[in-house]
Amino acid sequence: MSSAWRRRAAFGSSTLSLRHIGLWLIYAFAGHGPRFPWPLPATLGWGLGLAIHGLVVWLGTSHRGRDWESRKIEEYMREEQAAGRVGKR
């Protein structure tokens, strides 16, 4: 399973959590008179964080680049082969 797929799956689960918990909080608060709607700023803040997370996941805007993980693994494998340690324990 690729790391991009895992990041997208984690983003999907975060989205579902926001939807369910945010809606539940707003519903639970709905009939309690004219007090400050505390679930609203919490839900909006969570939504903003989720939107930023979505941009990073779907647009691949990482400081390391899109294929950093693959390049790093290949680099480690070349170093191991050069040192003659591949397959020896």
Q: Measured in Å, how far apart are the chain's first and last C-alpha atoms? A: 27
Please tell me whether residue 34 adopts helix, strand or coil conformation.
coil
Q: Is residue 11 part of a domain?
A: yes
Residues in the chain: 89
Per-residue model confidence (pLDDT) at position 48: 92
Q: Is residue 80 part of a domain?
A: no
Q: Is residue 17 part of a domain?
A: yes
Query: Closest Cα partner for 47 from 15, 9, 25?
Result: 15
Q: pTM here?
A: 0.53
The number of distinct structural domains making up the chain is: 1
Q: Is residue 42 part of a domain?
A: yes
Interval 20-64: pLDDT, tens: 888 888 888 877 777 777 778 888 898 898 898 888 887 875 556
Contact 73, 23 (CB under 8 A): no
